[in-house]
């Protein structure tokens, strides 16, 4: 393969959503690549996705699992951009023909964070009064928190991070559940009051990692992107994505995971739940880190045997996913 470093000076186009977080993530990738390849010009192309345009409907009711990726993928296939940067949790487990998950970057903390209104700044979820309003757009978070804290009130919330925090600060919500990674990347981690342990909230598949997607046959771009790959993170998320893919889930269903990598051992925990949190199935599989997808498949099959498919079928029917 021809080394990308020896290629003549050229311009490579990076696709990104227009949101502040998406651009922070994309500019970080741009900077990492620019350090590696100073003779190449990397330009960011900003695109709007369906998920960015529909802000008045809950994600679970829109039904499209490529809400935040489809327009970027079409731009790649049409050769308008060379690759795209995604939050890995937004990337469907089945990619369009001709595209590949080229690189996974080192994962930020994948946990969920709790951000409180000023009046509850000295509280934790466990000590909130009955009826306190929790804002989240994630069925995964909703199911787990309803299971543990049925006395709290849950209300959907959409919009970018600043919009959500403004709604919290003006009293529309008492608490928000957000990703630690997003808050840290936007340098808003000072707003984090509580980081939820796996015992309370298993995180989304791929949460905290960035995915870089490109055309399958573009060997030059693939070679370039390999330089910022983080293999331990890829190992973990490949197990998580296999688990999700086998259960035919997406970001709009209550499925969560937690992954630990210890040398050659991969420990994958996961759950499937009803939206009301009253039915919840959890399990953990310990397997070979050299075969992460097999670990994910084993966990999915374990939960399917215990009734996960029936729970998910009901959710799909109710929400028409």
Percent of the chain surpassing pLDDT 70: 88
One domain, residues 100 and 127: no
Please indicate, yes or no, whether residues 220 and 102 belong to a single structural domain of this protein: yes
What is the model's pLDDT at position 1? Answer: 39
- Residues 155 and 296 reside in one and the same domain: no
Q: Residue 158's pLDDT is what?
A: 81
Q: Are 58 and 275 in contact, with CB atoms under 8 Å apart? A: no
Do residue 187 and residue 238 come from a single domain?
A: no
pTM score above 0.85 = yes
Same domain, 290 and 148: no
Compute the distance between CA of residue 35 and CA of residue 42 in angstroms, rounded to an integer. 11
Average pLDDT over residues 280-304: 97
The answer to whether residue 90 is catalytic is yes
Residue 48 falls inside a structural domain: yes
Q: If pLDDT is split at 50, 70 and 90, which confidence band does 297 have?
A: very high
187 secondary structure, DSSP code: T
Report the pLDDT value the prediction gives residue 58, as an integer from 0 to 100: 47
Residue 204 lies in a domain: no
201 is a domain residue: no
The helix (run of H) or strand (run of E) holding residue 270 is strand 265-273
Q: Is residue 203 part of a domain?
A: no
Structure confidence at residue 253 (pLDDT): 82
Contact yes or no for 266/258 (Cβ under 8 A): no
Please tell me what DSSP assigns to residue 94: S
User: How far is Cα 296 from Cα 285, in angstroms, rounded to an integer?
Assistant: 8
Do 1 and 103 fall within a single domain? yes
Same domain as 28, residue 84? yes
Question: Nearest CA to 270 among 245, 232, 247, 243?
Answer: 243
CB atoms within 10 A of CB 315: 22
53, 45, 51, 48: which is closest to 26 by C-alpha? 45
Q: Per-residue pLDDT tens for 124-162?
A: 999 999 999 999 989 999 999 999 999 999 999 988 888
Looking at residue 203, the DSSP 8-state letter turns out to be: B
In a domain, 200, yes or no: no
In this predicted structure, the answer to whether residue 249 has a pLDDT above a threshold of 50 is yes
Q: Give the model's confidence band at 55: pLDDT under 50 very low, under 70 low, under 90 confident, else very high.
A: very low
The residue among 252, 258, 233 whose CA lies nearest residue 108 is 233
The confidence score (pLDDT) of residue 195 equals: 97
Q: Tell whether the torsion through CA atoms of 171, 18, 245 and 228 is positive or negative.
A: negative
Residue 31 makes CB contacts below 8 A (sequence gap 6+) with none
Is 202 part of any domain? no
Structural domains of the chain, count: 3
**Structural domain includes residue 265:** yes
180 part of a folded domain: yes
Range of the domain at 312: 230-321
Residue 317: CATH number of its domain: 3.30.160.40
319 and 265 fall within a common domain = yes
Quote the CA–CA distance of 14 and 33 in Å, as a whole number.
11
**Is the domain of 234 the same as that of 224?**
no
Ranges of beta strands (E only) in 79-121 are 83-87, 99-104, 112-116
Beta bridge partners of residue 259, listed in sequence order: 268
What SS3 string covers 208-265?
CCEEEEEECCCHHHHHHHHHHCCHHHHHHHHHHHHHHHHCCCCCCCCEEEEEEEECCE
160 and 257 together in one domain: no
Indicate the DSSP class of residue 190. G
* CATH at residue 86: 3.40.190.10
* pLDDT of 251 above 50: no
Residue in 52, 82, 90, 288 annotated catalytic = 90
Residue 45 and residue 118 in one domain: no
What's the rounded Cα separation, in Å, for the pair 22 and 24? Answer: 6
Same domain, 43 and 154: no
Other CB atoms within a 10 A radius of the CB of residue 78 amount to 8
| 269 has a pLDDT exceeding 80 | yes
């Amino acid at each position: 393969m021809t080394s990308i470093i020896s290629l003549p000076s050229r311009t490579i186009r990076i696709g990104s959503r227009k949101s502040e977080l998406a651009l922070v993530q994309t500019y970080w990738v741009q900077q990492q690549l620019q350090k590696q390849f100073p003779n190449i010009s990397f330009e960011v192309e900003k695109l709007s996705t369906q998920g960015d345009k529909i802000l008045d409907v809950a994600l679970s009711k829109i039904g499209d699992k490529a809400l935040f990726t489809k327009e970027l993928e079409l731009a790649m296939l049409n050769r308008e951009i060379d690759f795209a940067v995604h939050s890995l949790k937004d990337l469907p487990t089945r990619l369009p023909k001709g595209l590949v998950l080229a690189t996974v970057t080192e994962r930020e903390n994948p946990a969920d964070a709790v951000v409180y209104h000023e009046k509850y700044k000295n509280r934790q979820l466990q000590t909130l009064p009955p009826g306190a309003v929790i804002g989240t757009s994630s069925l995964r978070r909703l199911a787990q928190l309803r299971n543990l804290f049925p006395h709290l009130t849950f209300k959907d919330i959409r919009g970018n991070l600043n919009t959500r925090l403004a709604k919290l600060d003006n009293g529309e919500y008492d608490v928000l559940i957000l990703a630690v990674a997003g808050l840290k990347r936007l340098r808003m981690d000072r707003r984090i009051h509580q980081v939820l342990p796996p015992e309370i909230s298993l995180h989304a598949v791929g949460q905290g990692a960035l995915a870089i997607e490109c055309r399958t046959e573009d060997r030059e771009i693939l070679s370039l992107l390999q330089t910022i790959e983080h293999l331990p993170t890829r190992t973990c998320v490949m197990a998580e994505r296999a688990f999700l893919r086998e259960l035919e889930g997406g970001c709009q269903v209550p499925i969560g995971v937690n992954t630990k990598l210890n040398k050659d051992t991969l420990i994958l925990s996961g759950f499937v739940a009803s939206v009301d949190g009253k039915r919840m199935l959890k399990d953990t599989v310990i397997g070979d880190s050299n075969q992460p997808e097999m670990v994910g498949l084993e966990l999915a099959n374990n939960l399917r045997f215990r009734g996960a498919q029936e729970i998910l079928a009901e959710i799909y029917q109710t929400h028409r996913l």
